[in-house]
Structure 1
Amino acid sequence: MSSTADPAPEPGTARTGRVTSARRFARFALAVSVVGILLQLVLNTYYLSVGHAPAPHDLPVGIVGAPGQRQALTARLEEGGAFAVTAYASRQRLTDAIRGKEVYGGVDLTAERPTLYLASAAGPAAANLLRTTFTTATAEQTGEQVQALVDRGQAVPAATVAALTAPPAVSDVVPLPAADRNGAALGFLVQALALGGTIASTGLGRLIPLTPRSYRRGLGHVATLLVYALGSAAVVLWTMSWFDIGAGADRGRLLAEFTLISLAITASTAGAVALVGPAGAILGLGYFTVGTVISGAGILPEFLPGPARAIGQALPPGAGTSAVRDSLYFPAADTGGPLLVLGLYAGIGCLVVLVTNTLPNRSRNHSEVDLHLVERLEGPSLTPAGAAGAR
């Protein structure tokens, strides 16, 4: 019996297949490279536009002094919109305002020697700027007073000149602790919360659909988010204790705030994943890549451009940074606004997760676990309806 041999492949067929595969790979590699380069271009532009040269915008400061003294110094400070000046009746009122974070600092002109009061815990950049600005402004004002005496032909004793030209004394009302000399710890903590929360909520969003939709699944999803938020907050406080960060702060208040920050990030991201699928994780990635930069942790809100400042404080990283900084260093400050923002993200996110997990899915009433099992036993082409009939 004769056998028919398979026809030999035409010359170049196998080679043609390899070339086609190589071309596909090249197109895919090119697309990935272009997307990466474009993303880098966007992020570089964003980061540099926000932080390449931070400058104050209406930074709140205070002045104590006679009307004539205040008027001259206020004009200098508010020129160009860098500062927003508030007058206080006494040194005590000024320092109380600093502790309540109504102002970042101020100067008392009523004393024989002007005294600058500031709060380095509010941000080293603001404290350094206040030192430089007030020293320069008072020196210029004093120089004008000395020159006025000279112009009138009055002799100015050397002791008077020395007293007038001496730099103002500086008092740090709310200093940074020695364990966090540059004030960077808060920014690192918020970044870790944002990244960890994004990963956890995205992973949970892929795990939960492996069970049938029901109110129990919704409650379980929300309960898991709550447990994770509490656990992540406890880890934050634990690691802070290793480095003596926040040693004198209210630990219960910090635990509640870090829990709320974590829940705001995870619940809102999980809600986005529940609504649009895996692409919803972009929201959490945005918290990490975009939100942390304008959160006020590294660059104070008053040093950011107006839109960036508003957006930053409207996102969980920014609201969380403000709330935690006040709890650490300014317990008398009002944290109602930041906590409201965090509560809205957490509450709306949990509600979306609860509703989307409870409502039945008309296109797939069976759990993915059941469908995968049926596909293995009877073939991948079996539809959910056919699987139900087979059962």
Structure 2
Amino acid sequence: MKRPLRAVLVAVLAVAVQALMVAAFTWPAARVAPRHVPIVVAGPAPAVASVAQRLDAERRGAFEVERRPDEAAARRALADREAYGAIVVGPAGPRVLVASAASPTIAQLLTQMSQQLSGRAAPAPPDVVAADRDDPRGAAFGALVLPLVMSSLVGGVLLVFLAGAAGWRLAGLVTFAVGGGLVTAAIVGGGLSVVPGAYLEIAGVVGLTVLAVSGAVVGLGAVMGRAGLGLAAAVMMLLANPLSGVTSAPELLPRPWGAIGQGMPAGAGGTLLRSVAFFDGARAGSPLTVLLVWSATGLLLLGLGALRDRRRTGAHEVAGRGAQALADADT
């Protein structure tokens, strides 16, 4: 192929990749809106039904309402991460509770809704589970995921090209995950103080997220070679990261993309980190399972790639010995 034509084709490919990345990262943000956001309404059954009907009429499909008997039960629901907010119906009218640690974006939405429900200017609603005071809007927390995914991708690629045998790649993965978890937890927890919680727990969540991403890269690279690395990069960067919902909430993304994002390491890692940092591990089972499945799948693929390479090496050795035996017979 002539060089001018090759240059044009490379430029066209670069434009296509750029367009895909721009669309992947901006489309979810441009379509952020509440979609079946879990909230609770506390109070007598008739009052709860009236509030639920009003919400459905004004914001159809925006909220998924569950009833609780009183404010104490509503607060427990927020602390257990069963809902993003609550509406408590009392003699003075409806009153909103929020949990900004679950999603500052939804907390802001519910704060605006509290004024609409009361029909007058209202003070800021009580924050049952507040975001970190050094990161009240969750900007730093949301910014954590992209560099974590990118560095895990780079680490996985380096292990594929530089670590050699499967055993060394496995050792590199474990070292990378443990070290990455410890260092990142020290930065975001101790240094920047934007993620509260026990240091080792935060380090464990980050390390498992690193292992899920880099393990997928190494595993696909072991089985599919360069094509596997490209596939892993595309999935993690163009799907997992923009669909993670970390900067807003999975329920604010168009369906079913929010749920798909929670089935990938970036979304599951962000959700698990929130649960461990702010909610004492409430609702941690599902994201933890997702990360474990991704990690185990990556390690399984790494093992399958090593087994295939060993068989190929054995076949080549057998063929070489046969050729040598024939050569010796001829002499």
TM-score normalised to structure 2 length: 0.88
Structure 2 unaligned residues grouped into runs of 5+: none
User: Which of 210, 222, 245 lines up with 1:262 in the alignment?
Assistant: 210
Task: Report deviation, 1:166.
Answer: 6.2
Residue 277 (structure 1) aligned with residue 257 (structure 2): no
Residue 333 (structure 1) aligned with residue 311 (structure 2): no
**After alignment, is 32-41 or 284-293 more displaced?**
284-293
Query: Match for 1:53: what amino acid?
Result: R
Contact 1:54 1:304 in 2 (8 A): yes
User: Which of 98, 111, 131 lines up with 2:111 in the alignment?
Assistant: 131
Distance change in 2, residues 1:256/1:169 (3 Å): closer
**Aligned equivalents of 2:48 and 2:223: distance in 1?**
56
**After alignment, is 114-123 or 94-103 more displaced?**
114-123
**SS of residue in 2 equivalent to 1:63:** strand
Percent identity over paired residues:
26
Counterpart of 1:54 in structure 2 is: 32
Task: Report deviation, 1:185.
Answer: 2.1
User: Which of 51, 54, 65 lines up with 1:85 in the alignment?
Assistant: 65
Larger radius of gyration: 1
Number of residue-to-residue matches in the alignment: 318
Residue 104 (structure 1) aligned with residue 84 (structure 2): yes
Counterpart of 1:41 in structure 2 is: 19
**Residues 276-329 of structure 1: CA distance to partner in whole angstroms, max 9, x if unpaired?**
102212213431343111111113101001121121011110110100011111
**SS of residue in 2 equivalent to 1:175:** coil
**Aligned equivalents of 2:18 and 2:174: distance in 1?**
34
**SS of residue in 2 equivalent to 1:192:** helix
Distance change in 2, residues 1:166/1:299 (3 Å): closer
Residue 309 (structure 1) aligned with residue 289 (structure 2): no
Q: For residues 370-381 of structure 1, what are the structure 2 equivalents within 5 Å?
A: none
Task: Report deviation, 1:31.
Answer: 0.5
**SS of residue in 2 equivalent to 1:170:** coil
**Residues 201-235 of structure 1: CA distance to partner in whole angstroms, max 9, x if unpaired?**
111112244xxxxxxx4333212211110011111
Counterpart of 2:155 in structure 1 is: 200
Counterpart of 1:218 in structure 2 is: 166
Query: Match for 2:187: what amino acid?
Result: T
**Aligned equivalents of 2:124 and 2:311: distance in 1?**
72
Distance change in 2, residues 1:72/1:57 (3 Å): same
Counterpart of 2:300 in structure 1 is: 351
Distance change in 2, residues 1:107/1:55 (3 Å): same
**Aligned equivalents of 2:4 and 2:315: distance in 1?**
40
Task: Report deviation, 1:65.
Answer: 2.0
Query: Match for 1:185: what amino acid?
Result: A
